[in-house]
Structure 1
Amino acid sequence: MAMALRCFRHLHSLLYCSPLAMMRRMPQAAAGCPAPLLEGCRQCVRQVMLTRQLATKKAKGKGQTQAKVNINAALVEDIINLEETNEDMQAVVEALKEDFNRNVSVRTSPGALDHIIVVTKDGKFPLNQLGQISLKSPQLIIVNMTNFPESTAAAMKAIRESGMNLNPEVDGTLIRVPIPKVTREHRESLAKLAKQSTNKSKDALRKVRSKSMNQVKKFKSKVSEDTIWLLEKQIQQMADNAAAEMDKLLAAKTKELLG
């Protein structure tokens, strides 16, 4: 057990070496390391070196992608939380999905108005907390503001400025929201809105990536260059995957809108 532990510590120290240092230190296994364990150390180091070599190869030819980099999160948890970084990036993707479902739809449903934010003198509230929203007919949504009549004008303004191409009309404490006809011009307007939303989401994604990159760079003087390089590649890989997912969402939404 003691010998195995020494071998493990030896291998762990090699993980943070440069490739050249690895080669130099390979034969220097822990004292008294049995042949099977020593060979295991050598095989593990060769595997680490192979992984690094694959990660640095650039894609050649069409349809090929750069080799993926995967780092054991437990080994770098003192530097950065990779799982949290990935969650933050995926949160941006999920926000884009929600935006598409709520604001970039060919047909407007009562649920699409629920989370429109209304600014009142008492604060900001979702529209469905101030008024009762119902579908009067396939072409008309009614917002009943009887419970908060003083917020009717603010609700009207919020609906009109929601970016959903809606022109509400007020009738006492009732707000009538005609559903626009699905014209080619309206579809093109929604497709343009989807593109703008995607670009904003990519800006948010870049901020998450930059924040993570800066966190890693703080440890340049404390860990090896290889470790920093691999972490940066991992973060960039996460960002690329999230951006690719956004592009797929946009392509699907554009096809839905324009055919």
Structure 2
Amino acid sequence: MSEDFELDTDDLTRRMDGAMTNLKTEFASLRTGRASSSMLEPITVDAYGQPTPINQVGTVNVPESRMVTINVWDKAMVGKVEKAIRESGLGINPQLNGTIIMLPIPELNEERRRELTKVAAQYAEHARVSVRNLRRDGMDQVKKAKADGLSEDDQKFWETEVQDLTNRYIAKVDAALETKQAEIMQV
């Protein structure tokens, strides 16, 4: 196996891309003072005995920059959707208009902006931990190959490849965090 070893960097890259995708999804759920349909993605409603995403019980629209509307398809679900939004921790007070739930997005105050930047930093740290765990997996594969006869030069080469990949993704996480924090703090 010694000379034939080749680390599957494509797999590591794909898995690190997954960590970035997850981070972007978490960032999208943070309210920045602008309306976004993605802010409702983490919220589920108990629909017919199953936890169901809001976008599967109604149409989510953003008619203006500070308003999200949900046109609930089943009248019996309106109350459940409203309750799920109230209990979600988004800090939004839904207003009912028949089967349409309107969510006016209030301006964020300075204190809330600071709290959200801390939450964003926590999400970024989770992503960094995921990337580092993937780095450890890659390094473990290299160490296993070393035990199976991989040369020291090849071991150093693959360890450098894994570290370079890790550094690139950590930099991507940091850049995404910086962008999100600037977006949150923008008045």
> Shorter-chain-normalised TM-score: which range?
0.7 to 0.9
Inter-partner Cα distance in structure 1 for 2:159 and 2:87:
41
Q: Let me know the Cα RMSD of the aligned residues.
A: 2.9
Q: Match for residue 45 of structure 1?
A: none
Quote the residue 2:53 is aligned against. Answer: 126
User: Secondary structure at the residue paired with 1:143?
Assistant: strand
What is the percentage of aligned positions where both structures have the same residue? 30
CA distance in 2, matches of 1:208, 1:155: 38
Q: Kindly tell me: are residues 255 and 114 of structure 1, through their superposed partners in 2, closer, same or farther at Cα, counting changes over 3 Å? A: closer
Matched, 1:180 2:109: no
Q: Does 1:209 align with 2:138?
A: no
TM-score by length of 2: 0.78
Asked which structure has the greater RCO (Cα within 8 Å, sep 6+), the reply is 2
Q: Across the two proteins, how many residue pairs are aligned to each other? A: 183
3-state SS, counterpart of residue 92 of structure 2: coil
Bigger Rg over Cα: 1
Per-residue CA deviations over 1:28-49 (Å, capped at 9, x if unaligned) read: xxxxxxxxxxxxxxxxxxxxxx
**Aligned pairs for 1:45-84 within 5 A:** 76-77=5-6, 80-84=7-11
Aligned-partner Cα distance in 2 for 1:132–1:240? 41
Between Structure 1 and Structure 2, which shows a larger proportion of strand residues? 2
- The counterpart of 1:196, out of the listed 122, 131, 142, is 122
* Corresponding position: 1:234 with 2:136: no
Q: Which deviates more, 124-133 or 151-160? A: 151-160
CA separation of 1:182 and 1:235: change in aligned 2, threshold 3 A: same
Partner of 1:219: 145
Point out where structure 1 has 5 or more consecutive residues left out of the alignment.
1-12, 17-74
For the residue of structure 1 that corresponds to 2:147, the secondary structure is: coil
1:163–1:197: structure 2 CA closer, same or farther, 3 Å change rule? farther
Contact 1:116 1:159 in 2 (8 A): no
| 168-177 or 244-253, larger mean C-alpha shift | 168-177
Residue number among 2, 7, 26 corresponding to 1:99 in the alignment: 26
